[in-house]
Protein backbone atom coordinates (compact mmCIF):
# COMPACT_ATOMS: atom_id res chain seq x y z
CA UNK A 1 0.00 0.00 0.00
CA UNK A 2 1.06 3.53 -0.62
CA UNK A 3 2.18 5.70 2.26
CA UNK A 4 3.54 9.19 2.67
CA UNK A 5 5.82 10.37 5.44
CA UNK A 6 6.72 13.91 6.33
CA UNK A 7 9.92 14.49 8.22
CA UNK A 8 8.85 17.16 10.65
CA UNK A 9 5.77 17.47 12.79
CA UNK A 10 6.30 21.13 13.68
CA UNK A 11 8.77 23.63 12.23
CA UNK A 12 9.36 27.06 13.74
CA UNK A 13 11.16 29.71 11.72
CA UNK A 14 11.75 33.43 11.81
CA UNK A 15 10.62 35.59 8.94
CA UNK A 16 13.05 35.61 5.98
CA UNK A 17 14.46 32.21 6.92
CA UNK A 18 14.61 29.53 4.26
CA UNK A 19 12.24 26.60 4.41
CA UNK A 20 12.53 22.98 3.41
CA UNK A 21 9.88 20.43 4.34
CA UNK A 22 10.62 16.81 3.65
CA UNK A 23 8.26 14.33 2.03
CA UNK A 24 8.89 10.71 1.14
CA UNK A 25 6.49 8.23 -0.33
CA UNK A 26 6.46 4.50 -0.74
CA UNK A 27 5.12 3.28 -4.06
CA UNK A 28 6.92 1.44 -6.80
CA UNK A 29 5.05 2.76 -9.79
CA UNK A 30 4.62 6.11 -11.47
CA UNK A 31 3.02 8.68 -9.22
CA UNK A 32 1.60 12.15 -9.19
CA UNK A 33 2.71 14.33 -6.29
CA UNK A 34 1.14 17.29 -4.55
CA UNK A 35 1.70 19.77 -1.78
CA UNK A 36 -1.32 21.30 -0.10
CA UNK A 37 -1.51 24.10 2.45
CA UNK A 38 -4.13 24.54 5.14
CA UNK A 39 -4.31 27.96 6.77
CA UNK A 40 -5.82 28.07 10.26
CA UNK A 41 -9.53 27.32 10.15
CA UNK A 42 -9.59 26.79 6.40
CA UNK A 43 -9.70 23.91 3.94
CA UNK A 44 -6.80 22.39 2.05
CA UNK A 45 -5.63 24.32 -0.98
CA UNK A 46 -3.17 23.23 -3.64
CA UNK A 47 0.30 24.77 -3.54
CA UNK A 48 1.84 22.85 -6.41
CA UNK A 49 1.72 19.55 -8.24
CA UNK A 50 3.94 17.26 -10.27
CA UNK A 51 2.65 14.96 -12.98
CA UNK A 52 5.60 14.64 -15.37
CA UNK A 53 8.39 16.62 -17.00
CA UNK A 54 10.71 19.00 -15.17
CA UNK A 55 11.19 17.58 -11.67
CA UNK A 56 11.51 21.08 -10.25
CA UNK A 57 8.01 22.41 -9.88
CA UNK A 58 7.09 25.97 -9.06
CA UNK A 59 3.88 26.76 -7.26
CA UNK A 60 2.06 29.70 -5.82
CA UNK A 61 3.41 32.17 -3.26
CA UNK A 62 7.05 31.46 -4.10
CA UNK A 63 6.99 27.78 -3.18
CA UNK A 64 8.75 25.12 -5.20
CA UNK A 65 9.32 21.39 -4.87
CA UNK A 66 11.75 18.96 -6.36
CA UNK A 67 10.87 15.41 -7.31
CA UNK A 68 13.81 13.04 -6.86
CA UNK A 69 12.64 9.70 -8.15
CA UNK A 70 15.63 7.73 -6.86
CA UNK A 71 14.94 8.95 -3.34
CA UNK A 72 11.13 8.73 -3.53
CA UNK A 73 11.12 12.30 -2.30
CA UNK A 74 9.23 15.49 -3.07
CA UNK A 75 10.56 18.16 -0.74
CA UNK A 76 8.97 21.58 -0.51
CA UNK A 77 11.11 24.71 -0.42
CA UNK A 78 10.79 28.44 -0.09
CA UNK A 79 13.82 30.74 0.05
CA UNK A 80 12.31 33.30 2.40
CA UNK A 81 9.23 32.65 4.52
CA UNK A 82 6.73 35.23 5.68
CA UNK A 83 4.52 35.35 8.75
CA UNK A 84 1.56 34.67 6.45
CA UNK A 85 3.05 31.26 5.57
CA UNK A 86 2.08 30.02 9.01
CA UNK A 87 -0.07 27.00 8.22
CA UNK A 88 -0.09 23.24 8.00
CA UNK A 89 1.46 21.65 4.93
CA UNK A 90 0.47 18.27 3.53
CA UNK A 91 2.26 16.17 0.97
CA UNK A 92 0.08 13.80 -1.08
CA UNK A 93 0.60 11.12 -3.70
CA UNK A 94 -1.61 9.28 -6.12
CA UNK A 95 -0.71 6.63 -8.69
CA UNK A 96 -1.12 8.06 -12.16
CA UNK A 97 -3.53 5.33 -13.14
CA UNK A 98 -5.95 6.17 -10.35
CA UNK A 99 -6.95 8.81 -7.89
CA UNK A 100 -6.76 7.38 -4.40
CA UNK A 101 -5.01 10.35 -2.88
CA UNK A 102 -2.83 9.43 0.09
CA UNK A 103 -1.87 12.29 2.36
CA UNK A 104 1.05 12.56 4.72
CA UNK A 105 0.47 13.45 8.39
CA UNK A 106 1.20 17.12 7.79
CA UNK A 107 3.86 19.55 9.02
CA UNK A 108 2.84 22.54 11.02
CA UNK A 109 4.86 25.64 10.14
CA UNK A 110 4.99 28.56 12.54
CA UNK A 111 6.71 31.70 11.27
CA UNK A 112 7.66 34.21 13.95
CA UNK A 113 7.41 37.89 13.01
CA UNK B 1 -17.91 26.34 -11.10
CA UNK B 2 -18.48 27.14 -7.42
CA UNK B 3 -16.12 24.45 -6.27
CA UNK B 4 -16.92 21.59 -3.91
CA UNK B 5 -19.87 22.55 -1.76
CA UNK B 6 -20.47 21.06 1.66
CA UNK B 7 -23.34 21.53 4.03
CA UNK B 8 -23.83 22.31 6.77
CA UNK B 9 -20.68 24.27 7.66
CA UNK B 10 -21.23 23.64 11.36
CA UNK B 11 -23.29 21.00 13.12
CA UNK B 12 -23.82 20.57 16.82
CA UNK B 13 -25.78 17.53 17.88
CA UNK B 14 -26.42 15.44 20.92
CA UNK B 15 -24.91 12.02 21.39
CA UNK B 16 -27.11 9.33 19.89
CA UNK B 17 -28.60 11.52 17.20
CA UNK B 18 -28.25 10.87 13.49
CA UNK B 19 -26.05 13.27 11.56
CA UNK B 20 -26.00 13.68 7.79
CA UNK B 21 -23.28 15.60 6.01
CA UNK B 22 -23.72 16.59 2.38
CA UNK B 23 -21.38 17.21 -0.50
CA UNK B 24 -21.77 18.47 -4.05
CA UNK B 25 -18.62 17.77 -6.09
CA UNK B 26 -17.34 19.85 -8.96
CA UNK B 27 -19.32 19.13 -12.10
CA UNK B 28 -17.56 16.59 -14.32
CA UNK B 29 -15.36 15.17 -11.60
CA UNK B 30 -15.57 11.40 -11.37
CA UNK B 31 -13.87 10.89 -8.01
CA UNK B 32 -15.25 11.92 -4.64
CA UNK B 33 -13.50 11.58 -1.31
CA UNK B 34 -14.59 11.93 2.31
CA UNK B 35 -11.91 12.84 4.85
CA UNK B 36 -12.01 13.39 8.60
CA UNK B 37 -9.56 15.71 10.33
CA UNK B 38 -8.81 15.79 14.05
CA UNK B 39 -5.92 17.09 16.10
CA UNK B 40 -5.09 13.62 17.31
CA UNK B 41 -5.31 11.65 14.09
CA UNK B 42 -4.71 14.26 11.41
CA UNK B 43 -6.34 13.87 7.99
CA UNK B 44 -7.90 10.45 7.47
CA UNK B 45 -9.47 9.13 4.28
CA UNK B 46 -12.81 7.58 5.16
CA UNK B 47 -14.11 6.47 1.76
CA UNK B 48 -13.86 7.36 -1.89
CA UNK B 49 -16.09 6.87 -4.90
CA UNK B 50 -15.39 6.56 -8.60
CA UNK B 51 -18.32 7.19 -10.92
CA UNK B 52 -20.67 6.99 -7.93
CA UNK B 53 -19.39 3.56 -6.88
CA UNK B 54 -17.60 3.14 -3.53
CA UNK B 55 -14.06 1.95 -4.26
CA UNK B 56 -12.44 1.85 -0.84
CA UNK B 57 -14.29 2.21 2.45
CA UNK B 58 -11.59 0.71 4.63
CA UNK B 59 -11.17 4.01 6.40
CA UNK B 60 -14.74 4.12 7.67
CA UNK B 61 -14.28 3.76 11.41
CA UNK B 62 -17.23 1.51 12.18
CA UNK B 63 -20.71 0.51 11.16
CA UNK B 64 -22.15 3.71 12.56
CA UNK B 65 -20.70 5.47 9.52
CA UNK B 66 -22.18 5.10 6.06
CA UNK B 67 -21.74 7.00 2.80
CA UNK B 68 -23.75 7.11 -0.38
CA UNK B 69 -23.45 8.71 -3.75
CA UNK B 70 -26.83 8.37 -5.48
CA UNK B 71 -25.73 10.43 -8.47
CA UNK B 72 -22.73 12.27 -9.86
CA UNK B 73 -23.62 15.54 -8.17
CA UNK B 74 -24.39 14.51 -4.62
CA UNK B 75 -22.98 12.46 -1.77
CA UNK B 76 -23.85 12.01 1.88
CA UNK B 77 -21.95 10.83 4.92
CA UNK B 78 -24.18 9.63 7.71
CA UNK B 79 -23.33 8.87 11.31
CA UNK B 80 -25.96 6.97 13.28
CA UNK B 81 -25.83 7.06 16.25
CA UNK B 82 -23.32 9.84 16.76
CA UNK B 83 -20.82 9.84 19.63
CA UNK B 84 -18.63 12.59 21.12
CA UNK B 85 -15.51 11.00 19.62
CA UNK B 86 -16.95 11.66 16.16
CA UNK B 87 -16.38 15.37 16.70
CA UNK B 88 -14.09 16.51 13.91
CA UNK B 89 -13.97 18.48 10.68
CA UNK B 90 -15.22 16.41 7.77
CA UNK B 91 -13.96 17.36 4.31
CA UNK B 92 -15.28 16.32 0.96
CA UNK B 93 -13.03 16.51 -2.10
CA UNK B 94 -13.42 15.72 -5.77
CA UNK B 95 -11.11 15.18 -8.70
CA UNK B 96 -11.05 14.05 -12.30
CA UNK B 97 -8.83 11.30 -13.63
CA UNK B 98 -9.64 12.20 -17.22
CA UNK B 99 -8.01 15.60 -16.93
CA UNK B 100 -5.58 14.46 -14.27
CA UNK B 101 -6.35 17.09 -11.69
CA UNK B 102 -5.55 17.47 -8.07
CA UNK B 103 -8.19 16.92 -5.41
CA UNK B 104 -10.31 20.02 -4.78
CA UNK B 105 -11.54 20.34 -1.22
CA UNK B 106 -14.74 21.75 0.15
CA UNK B 107 -14.83 24.13 3.10
CA UNK B 108 -15.57 21.29 5.48
CA UNK B 109 -18.25 20.57 8.07
CA UNK B 110 -17.25 21.08 11.68
CA UNK B 111 -19.17 18.48 13.68
CA UNK B 112 -19.51 18.70 17.44
CA UNK B 113 -21.25 15.90 19.28
CA UNK B 114 -22.10 16.75 22.87
Question: What domains are defined for chain A?
Answer: 4-112 (2.60.40.10)
Q: Residues 29 to 68 of B: which have CB under 8 A from any A CB?
A: 31, 33, 35, 42-43, 45, 48, 50, 55-56
For the stretch A11-50, pLDDT in tens is: 999 999 999 999 999 987 888 999 999 999 999 999 999 9
Q: Give percent above pLDDT 70 in chain B.
A: 97
pLDDT band at B100 (very low <50, low <70, confident <90, very high): low
Could you report the per-residue pLDDT of A74-113, keeping only the tens digit for each? 999 999 999 999 999 999 998 877 677 889 999 999 999 8
Report CB contact under 8 Å: A105, B42.
yes
pLDDT tens for A39-59 read: 999 999 999 999 889 999 999
Model confidence band, residue B62 (pLDDT cutoffs 50, 70, 90) = confident
pLDDT at B79 over 80: yes
**Residues B39 and B64 sit within 8 Å (Cβ to Cβ):** no
- pLDDT at residue number A30: 85
Q: Is B97 on the interface with A (CB under 8 A)?
A: yes
Beta-carbon separation of B105 and A100 below 8 A: no
What is the percent of chain B where pLDDT is above 90?
Answer: 85
Average pLDDT value for residue range B15-43: 94
Is B90 an interface residue toward A (CB < 8 Å)? no
In A, minimum Cα distance to B49 occurs at A100
Asked whether residue B14 carries a pLDDT value surpassing 70, the answer given is yes
For position B1, what pLDDT does the model report?
66
Kindly determine whether residue B55 and residue A43, on different chains, have CB atoms separated by under 8 Å. Answer: no
HEC states along chain A?
A: CCEEEECCCEEEEECCCCEEECEEEECCCCEEEEEEEECCCCCCEEEEEECCCCCEEECHHHCEEEEEHHHCEEEEEECCCCHHHCEEEEEEEEECCCCCCEECCCEEEEEEC
Residue B99 has pLDDT above 80, yes or no: no
Report the gap between the CA of A10 and the closest CA in chain B (Å). Answer: 13
> Is the pLDDT assigned to residue B91 strictly greater than 90?
yes
In this structure, what are the phi and psi dihedrals at residue A70, rounded to the nearest 5 degrees?
-65, -20
A/B interface, count of CB pairs below 8 Å: 47
User: What is the average pLDDT value for chain B, to the nearest integer?
Assistant: 94
- Which pLDDT band holds residue B42 (cuts at 50, 70, 90)? confident
The CA distance from A16 to A34, in Å, is 24
Q: Return the higher-pLDDT residue of A62 and B99.
A: A62
CA dihedral B69, B114, B86, B90 (to 10 degrees): 50
Q: What is the pLDDT of residue B97?
A: 78
Amino acid sequence: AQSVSQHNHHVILSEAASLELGCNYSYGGTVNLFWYVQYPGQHLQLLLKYFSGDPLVKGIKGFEAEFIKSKFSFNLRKPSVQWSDTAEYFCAVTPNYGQNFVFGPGTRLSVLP
Amino acid sequence: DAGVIQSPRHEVTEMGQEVTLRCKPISGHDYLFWYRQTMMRGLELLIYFNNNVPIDDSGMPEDRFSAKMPNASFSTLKIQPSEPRDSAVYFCASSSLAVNTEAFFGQGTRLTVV
